[in-house]
Amino acid sequence: MSTITKKGQVTIPKPFRDRLHIKEGDSLHFEVKDNVLILRRTERRSLLDLGGIARGRKVGTGSEREYAKRTVARKIAKEGR
Contact of 38 with 32, CB cutoff 8 Å: yes
For the chain, what are the domain ranges?
1-44, 45-81
Does the model's pTM come out above 0.75? no
Tens digits of per-residue pLDDT, 10-68? Answer: 999 999 999 988 888 888 889 999 999 998 888 766 666 666 655 555 555 567 777 77
Which CATH number is 1-44's, of 3.30.950.10, 2.60.260.20, 1.10.3720.10, 2.10.260.10?
Answer: 2.10.260.10
Distance CA 53, CA 58 (A): 9
Q: How confident is the model at residue 5 (pLDDT cuts 50, 70, 90)?
A: very high
pLDDT of 71 reads 82
